[in-house]
């Protein structure tokens, strides 16, 4: 049965495409209804080189038109890139993989949603399966039962396994390339098999120069001695493929630089990822090594894409030494971009030294950029499959606004690895005899929301905290932050997504990439605090909670508590929160044509000090624009008084407008712009206009005069019928 696209209300986008690019990897996330508006070849033309990841988890409806467009898309994209990877394929997409020849082209499916059902509470859910982790269940056509998140009773696979897994069971097994595994683990927070994340080293020697390429997670398994053995002459270390860096990995890196033989003339580091600069850019971390280039994320407000750009230290040193990100143009549209790097990364830029790279080394580095590693052969569709004709349509990226497609960036779904071993000893006590059924993950420092019968349920998990109170607070904040993310992801307004989501999204991804790090927990705490400050009715107590207490490891002191909480939000409460943060409040007339939103709590990921404010949604004309304010700026104070939300900004500015209307004057606003510290803007409020001539009173209108005291000084309050206001008439003036 082919699903036809449902009617979409006028003005709402049918399809959304989110783009996230990092080096040679581009991820496109499709959300909504795919129909005849798709232009496959045009979309394929926007992707060049490397790996294309297609996230199809939020494909809601598929029309019967456009199958040729889709096949053209994957075919053309296959010619432009080295490999295509499908992730989070919705069940409707899996159906098309089973029925349509060449639906995946030369691509490979890494993860997909399987439909499950609980008869006890009459709920259908989707469970994400991965071809590496769930290979046995796929090949044997025996998907396991899963506990229902609502009632805890077994939920069963709600399809015919032989039919549903027909394509996936026939897909050849494959291993993710280290760079792709690192991207999935760090950028999308996927749980990737340990083998794919293990650090790998590849050497290429040319004369007295060695190119050492590292890819994977930098952890305790880094073979320091083996990698360093035999290195001599000039060594160029390419770090583009490095994913997560844990403390043990950082120590191993320092050890590597210490054991590099003294015969090495110089060590140059190229394509350092943001996490490397954040954790290993100090002088004692680098030793003799020098950073030649690194990557930084930039967001384009025009096409709403986030792209990692290579920054050459030598070319931009005059800017970098002031801990400032260099300006970069969007590679897609050529327009200006804004740096989406974390404050930690920006702070480390000023510590970089200017590399004096010899010409021959620069030539060697440039040559290595052009030399490509031979890609692994892409999986082909199993032989013998026949197509059934036009069934599916996919989506386009450009020139489709009129067709109802909106391109934007949103924070992609976060997942965290299951904890293989905890930094604690034996379990000492727990609040109840067994973990409740609503706890579906063993991950710590985790928050996620799932659909419930009447809305959503958001579960938060703490770290192994020193006290019960700390653990409970951490878990509650994680649940509230997950709820904020859920609200933001559901806002359909393209302007809001461009000015709000694309700003906090990269910072959130960076924070969550730390998983159990203090930065991630601080971000969750800040977002939860901003939510409590800016919205009423936020759950103060969890709907359910559970805790476990563990003994300390030998040699350590103090027990540790792991806390789990669940908060429930109805559909009406979710809608109210979305309305709260998307409602436009006009500025007072004296400030010009401008509107503001209430500060969205997710922005606290970028600035942990934000607790309230009014973000300017538009500044078309008037004194605000003249003072240099623009859309995206956040007003946090009016005349030194804190601004809680958009309404309080309008009210406070209105009071000052009334005060200054008699004589005109200066209005002082404290404004947060981008990553800069808040600064004061002076807005000139013009003197209110007075009538050119007195208006003669009319008897029949005096009864309609507005209430209020009669002004002194010989003036008479007159109600002007035509103007609708008070006019001062004083014969002595």
Q: What would the two tokens of residue 413 be?
A: 């779904």
Give CA angle at 157 (155, 158), nearest 5°. 105
CA distances from 95 to 61, 62, 186, 408, 615 (A): 12, 11, 29, 27, 44
**Pairing outcome for strands 123-130 and 146-147:** unpaired
Report the C-alpha gap between 549 and 428 in whole angstroms: 6
> Please, what sign has the CA dihedral across residues 20, 26, 30, 36?
positive
The per-residue DSSP string of 401-449 comes to GGGTEEE---PPPP-----SS-SS--EEEESSSS--TT-----SSEEEE
Taking phi over 0 as left and psi of -120 to 50 as alpha, with beta for the rest, 367 belongs to: alpha
Q: If DSSP codes are grouped into helix, strand and coil, which group holds residue 532?
A: helix
User: Residue 614: its pLDDT value, please?
Assistant: 95
The span from the CA of 193 to the CA of 182, in Å, is 11
Closest among 560, 725, 536 to 644, alpha carbons compared? 536
Q: Position of tokens 């320092």?
A: 254
Residue 657 β-bridge partners: none
At 393 the pLDDT is: 30
Give the pLDDT of residue 722: 34
> Quick check: do 178-370 and 583-685 share a fold?
no
**CA-CA distance, 420 to 428, in Å (whole number)?**
19
CB-CB neighbours of 573 under 10 Å: 19
The residues pairing with 339 across neighbouring beta strands, listed in sequence order, are 298
**What is the predicted pLDDT for the residue at 490?**
84
The domains of the chain are located at 15-175+388-407, 178-370, 442-579, 583-685, 699-729
SS3 assignment for 483-517: HHHHHHHCCCCHHHHHHHHHHHHHHHHHHHCCCCC
Phi, psi of 697 (to 5 degrees): -70, 150
What is 15-175+388-407's CATH number? 3.30.750.24
* 419 contacts 201 by C-beta, under 8 angstroms: no
Across-strand partners of 264? 233
Strand 446-452 versus strand 146-147 pairing type: unpaired
Task: Classify burial at 376, counting beta carbons within 10 Å of its beta carbon; exposed 0-12, middle 13-18, buried 19 or more.
Answer: middle
What's the confidence (pLDDT) of residue 350? 84
Residues whose CB falls within 8 Å of the CB of residue 403, separated by 6 or more in sequence, listed in order: 14, 37, 396
Long-range CB contacts (< 8 A, 24+ apart) of 191-197?
191/130, 191/133, 191/415, 191/416, 191/417, 191/418, 192/132, 193/132, 193/133, 196/132, 197/243, 197/244
Which residues of the chain carry a pLDDT beneath 70?
1-13, 62-68, 186-197, 261, 263, 304, 371-422, 509, 513-519, 688-733
Q: Which residues pair with 407 in a beta bridge?
A: 17
Give the per-residue pLDDT at 598.
Answer: 96
Beta-carbon count within 10 A of 594 CB:
24
Q: Which CATH superfamily is domain 583-685 in?
A: PDZ domain (2.30.42.10)
User: How high is the pLDDT of residue 584?
Assistant: 94
Phi-psi sector, 294: left (phi>0), alpha (psi -120 to 50), beta: beta
Asked if 197 contacts 217 with a C-beta cutoff of 8 angstroms, the reply is: yes
* Res 670: pLDDT: 93
Residues 113 and 92: their CA atoms lie apart, in Å, by 9
Asked whether 539 and 417 are in contact (CB, 8 A), the reply is no
* Three-state SS at 332: coil
Q: What is the pLDDT of residue 197?
A: 63
Name the pTM for this structure: 0.43
pLDDT of residue 14: 76
User: How many other C-beta atoms lie within 10 A of the C-beta of residue 208?
Assistant: 11
Distance, in Å, from the CA atom of 464 to the CA atom of 471, rounded to the nearest integer, reads 7
Asked if residue 720 lies in contact with residue 695, where contact means CB atoms within 8 angstroms, the answer is yes
Q: How many residues does the chain have?
A: 733
Residues 622-651: pLDDT tens digits?
Answer: 888 888 888 889 999 999 999 999 999 999
Enter the CATH code of domain 178-370.
3.30.750.24
| pLDDT reported for residue 695 | 45
């Amino acid at each position: 049965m082919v699903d036809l696209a449902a009617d979409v209300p006028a003005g709402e986008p049918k399809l959304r495409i989110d783009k996230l690019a990092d080096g040679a990897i581009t991820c496109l996330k499709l959300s909504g209804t795919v129909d005849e508006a798709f232009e496959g070849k045009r979309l394929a033309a926007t992707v060049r080189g490397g790996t294309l990841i297609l996230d199809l988890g939020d494909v809601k409806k598929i029309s019967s038109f456009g199958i040729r467009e889709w096949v053209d898309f994957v075919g053309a994209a296959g010619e432009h890139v080295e490999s295509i990877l499908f992730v989070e394929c919705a069940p409707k997409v899996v159906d098309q993989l089973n029925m349509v020849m060449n639906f995946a082209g030369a691509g490979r499916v890494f993860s997909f949603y399987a439909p499950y059902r609980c008869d006890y509470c009459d709920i259908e859910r989707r469970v994400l399966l991965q071809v590496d982790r769930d290979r046995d269940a796929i090949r044997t056509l025996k998907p396991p039962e899963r506990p229902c998140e609502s009632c805890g009773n077994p939920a069963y696979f709600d399809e015919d396994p032989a039919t549903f897994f027909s394509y996936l069971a026939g897909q050849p097994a494959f291993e993710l390339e280290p760079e792709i595994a690192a991207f999935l683990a760090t950028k999308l927070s996927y749980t990737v098999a340990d083998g794919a994340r293990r650090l790998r080293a590849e050497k290429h020697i040319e004369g007295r120069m060695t190119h050492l390429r590292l890819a994977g997670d930098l952890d305790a398994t880094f073979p320091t001695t083996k990698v360093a053995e035999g290195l001599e002459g000039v060594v160029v270390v390419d770090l583009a493929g490095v994913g997560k860096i844990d403390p043990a990995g950082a120590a191993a890196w320092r050890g590597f630089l210490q054991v590099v033989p003294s015969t090495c003339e110089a060590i140059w580091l190229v394509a350092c990822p943001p996490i490397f600069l954040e954790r290993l850019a100090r002088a004692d971390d680098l030793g003799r090594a020098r950073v030649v280039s690194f990557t930084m994320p930039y967001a384009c407000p025009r096409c709403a894409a986030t792209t990692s750009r290579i920054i050459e230290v030598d070319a931009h040193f005059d800017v970098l030494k002031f801990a400032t990100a260099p300006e970069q143009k969007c590679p897609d549209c050529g327009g200006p971009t804004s740096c989406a790097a974390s404050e930690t990364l920006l702070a480390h830029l000023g510590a970089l030294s200017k590399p004096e790279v010899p010409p021959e080394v620069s030539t060697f580095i440039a040559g290595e950029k052009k030399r490509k590693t031979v890609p692994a052969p892409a999986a082909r569709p199993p032989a013998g499959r026949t197509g059934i004709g036009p069934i599916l349509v996919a989506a386009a990226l450009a020139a489709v606004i009129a067709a109802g497609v909106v391109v934007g960036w949103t924070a992609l779904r976060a997942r965290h690895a299951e904890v293989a071993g905890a930094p604690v000893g034996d379990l000492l006590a727990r609040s109840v005899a067994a973990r409740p059924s609503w706890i579906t993950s063993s991950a710590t420092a985790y928050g996620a929301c799932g659909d419930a019968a009447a809305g959503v349920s958001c579960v938060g998990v703490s770290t192994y905290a020193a006290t019960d109170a700390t653990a409970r607070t951490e878990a509650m904040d994680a649940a509230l932050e997950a709820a904020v993310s859920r609200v933001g992801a559901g806002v359909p307004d393209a302007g809001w997504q461009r000015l709000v989501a694309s700003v906090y999204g990269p910072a959130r991804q960076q924070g969550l990439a730390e998983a159990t790090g203090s930065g991630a927990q601080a971000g969750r705490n800040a977002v939860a605090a901003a939510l409590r400050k800016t919205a009423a009715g936020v759950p103060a107590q969890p709907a359910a909670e559970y805790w476990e207490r563990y003994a300390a490891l030998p040699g350590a002191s103090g027990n540790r508590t792991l806390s789990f909480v669940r908060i429930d939000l109805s559909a009406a409460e979710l809608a109210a929160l979305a309305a709260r943060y998307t409602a436009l409040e006009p500025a007072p007339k004296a400030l010009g044509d401008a509107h503001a939103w209430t500060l969205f709590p997710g922005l606290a990921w970028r600035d942990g000090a934000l607790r309230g404010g009014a973000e300017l949604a538009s500044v078309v004309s008037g004194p605000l624009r003249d003072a240099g304010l623009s859309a995206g700026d956040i007003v946090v104070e009016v005349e030194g008084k804190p601004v809680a939300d958009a309404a309080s900004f309008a009210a406070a500015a209105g009071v000052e407008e009334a005060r200054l209307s008699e004589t005109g004057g200066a209005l002082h606003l404290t404004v947060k712009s981008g990553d800069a510290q808040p600064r004061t803007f002076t807005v000139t409020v013009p003197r209110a206009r007075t009538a050119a001539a007195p208006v003669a009173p009319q008897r029949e209108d005096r009864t309609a005069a507005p209430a209020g005291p009669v002004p002194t000084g010989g003036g008479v309050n007159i109600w002007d019928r035509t103007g609708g206001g008070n006019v001062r008439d004083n014969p002595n003036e």
